[in-house]
Structure 1
Amino acid sequence: MGASLPDCPQTSNLLFDPSMNSARVQLFHGANQPFQMGTVLLPDELHPGEVLVEISLATICGSDLHTTEGRRSAPTPCVLGHEAVGHVVSSARDGIASGQRVTWTLADSCGQCAPCTRWHLPQKCEHLFKYGHAALTDGSGLNGCYASHIVLRPGTQIMTVPEALPDAIAAPANCALATIVNALETLPDPCGRALVQGGGLLGIYACAWLRHRGVREVFCTDLSPQRLTLVAEFGGIPLAHGTTPPTVDLVLEVTGSSAVIPDGIKALRPGGHYVWAGMVHPETKIDLTGEAVLRKCLTLRGVHNYAPHHLAAGLDFLAENHTRLPFEKLTSPPLRLEQLNEGFELTRSRQWQRVAIQP
C-alpha cells in the first residue's frame, strides 16, 4: 500500500537499560515548526500508582497532525502522542509488574467526581489529564508517546496486550478503535443496515465492528477510491461519492465534516440513530432544522473519546480477529523516533491510515 521506507527498524521488545537515566523525546514547540529531539530525566522514584513504561511503538493520530498545523492548541514545549504500546519498566501500582506488555487509556481521571461516578463519563472527568496534551513542566514531563518512555498516572487504566497481537495492530486501539466501540455501543433495534460516513481508520474500524455486532449490511462513503477499496476488506460495502445510499437504521459520521449531515439525515429510516464522532473541530457548524429530526423521530448522539471498558472490548476484538482481517495493512513500517518529522509528512500523504514510530 505505502511506499517503501528506508532505514526502518523492525519492531523490538527490548526492555529499558537501567544504566540510562534519561528518556529521549521529540519536543513540539508550536504549529508549523519541526519537532526537535531532546532528553528528559527519568524519575528517581515513582509516586504511588504511577507506572514507568518504555514505549515499543507509537502511531501518529490525525489529531496530532491538526495540532502541528495549528487547528488544535497545545501547551509548548510538550511531547505529543497518545497511541502506543510499551513494556513496564517499573511500577508503583499493585497488579502491574515490570516486563508486562501494555497499553493504556489516553486520559487519566480521578474516579471520584460526578462525570467519573454518576454520569459514567470518565473521559469528561473534572480533573482530566490527557496524554500528549500536557506541558513539559507538568509532572515528570514524560506525558506523551513520541518518546522512549512515558510515566502513566494513578488514574490511568492500564491493560495488558494479548501476546499474539502485534504492536502495530494494538497501538491505535487506545484512540480510534476504543472511540468506535463507544460510538457503536448502543444500536437501534432492529439494526440490519448501517451507513458509515468516512473511510479513514475510524470508518474502517466501524465497518469491521458493526459486522462483528451482527449488522448485515454496512455501507461506507468516502471521497477516496483507495480508502473505499480498503473498506471492502473489512466488511464494508463501498459507495462512491455522490451515490445515494439505501435507507438505513444507523448512520455514523466519522468524516469530521458537517457537510455530510444532510445526506445522513436523508438516509435514516424513521426512528433511526445518527451518531456523530468525527466533528470535534470548532469549524464544523451544522445547518439542520429541528423538523428534519423530529418528523423522523431520530435519535442523535455525540461521542468523544471513551471509557476504559471500551478499550478492553476493542483489544478483545483485535485479539479475536487480527488473523481474519488485514489490520496489518493499516499501519506503515516503523520509522525511528528521530524520523518523526518525516513521519508527519508521510501522514499528510495519506498513504497509510497510521504511521508507526519506534523509539
Structure 2
Amino acid sequence: MKASTYGAFTVLIEQFQPAEIIAAAPDAIAMALGENVRNAHPLAQDMAGAPLSSLAAAIERKNTRPGSQVRAASLGTWDFTNALAAGVQGIITRRFEAAAGHRRFCGETEVLDFKRVDMPELDIADELPIAFELGEIPNEVQGLTELNLRIDGCIRNARVVTFARRLGVSWQVVKNDQIGLIADLIRLLGNSAARTEAGLLYRELELNPALDDGLPVFIDGANWIKSPLSETSLGAGVAAMRTFQTISGNNADLAAAHLLVAADLEVAARKLVHESGLPIEITATAQLATGHWYLFSDPEIHPACTTLKLRGAAQPVRAEAGKKFYLDGTYITARADLGAVVRGRMGIVRGQPA
C-alpha cells in the first residue's frame, strides 16, 4: 500500500488495524473541528491532525484488492461517509441552535410521524374550587359528552416536512485534509435549516390563519395592535397580553417576554426596550413585512407557538451518509425534519402600522 499518498500519518496506519482507525475517525474529525469530545476513542487525538486522509488510507487498506480503484475503494464506501457524517454532526447541530433565534419564544411539540395532525390550543377552566376535607373533588373531564374543556382554536394540517441538501466531498479535499472547508459548508447548511424553520413560523404569523371558530388568530381589539412600534403601542401590546380573557373570564395575566420585529425595526426596538427597562428579549428577521412586530409570552409558561419534533429524534437537523458516490469523491447529506405552528391567540400579540 502506498500510504504516503494519504499524508504523513503512515505510522498510525501501519501500526493499527483499519477497523480501529475507522472507529476512531468520527471523534478525530470532531476534534479537528475544535469539538470538545467526551470519552473520545484512544486513537482520535493522534488522527486529528489528518483525519480525512488517515480514514481514507485505513479504508483503502481494508478494501485493497489487485486492480481495484484505490480512491473509489476508500471514499466511495459507507465506512467513509458514515464516519464523516458522524464527525460533523456536532457543528451542524450547534450552528442550527445558534441561528434558530425563533426557538427562544417557541415551545416544542412531539409528533408521531410525518402525517398531518391538528394542533389545538387547550384552555381549561382555570378556576380551582375549594376542596373540602373528605369532600368530592369535581371532575373537569368526564368523557366527551361532559368535557368541561374548550378547544379555543385549532390549526389544521400541521406537519413535519423534510428538507435536505447533498454536499459533495472531492478526493482533493480528502487528500489535503481540508476539514475546515467541509466545516464551513456544514455550518452554512445549519444556518439554512434554522432559517427554513423560522420561515415556516413567520409565514404562518403573517398569513393570520383562521382557527376552528372561523376567526383569525389575530383579532383587532384583542391581540392585534394596528399601530407602528412605539412606546405607546408596545405598552398596549404588553397590556393586551395581560388582559386576554380565559374561558373562565379571567385575565390571562401573561407577561410579554419576547419581541419579534421586522428588519427595519431592529435598532428602534432595541433602543425602545433598553430605554423602557423592560425584561423583553428581541429577535429581528428579514422574513417579516416592513413595520410588523409581535409580542410573545414565555414559552415555559404558555407557548403561543411551537416547533414540531419527530418522536425519538435527538435533534431536528443531522448529517447523514450520502446515498450516492462518485469515482473522485463522495457525498454527505444535511437533512432537517422541520415544522412550526401558531397554537392559538393567548400569549401572542401582533402589531403593525394601520
Task: Bin the TM-score by the shorter chain.
Answer: under 0.3
Structure with a larger share of its residues in helix: 2
- TM-score w.r.t. structure 2 length? 0.26
Which structure has the larger Rg over C-alpha atoms? 2
Higher relative contact order (CA 8 A, sep 6+): 2
- TM-score w.r.t. structure 1 length? 0.26
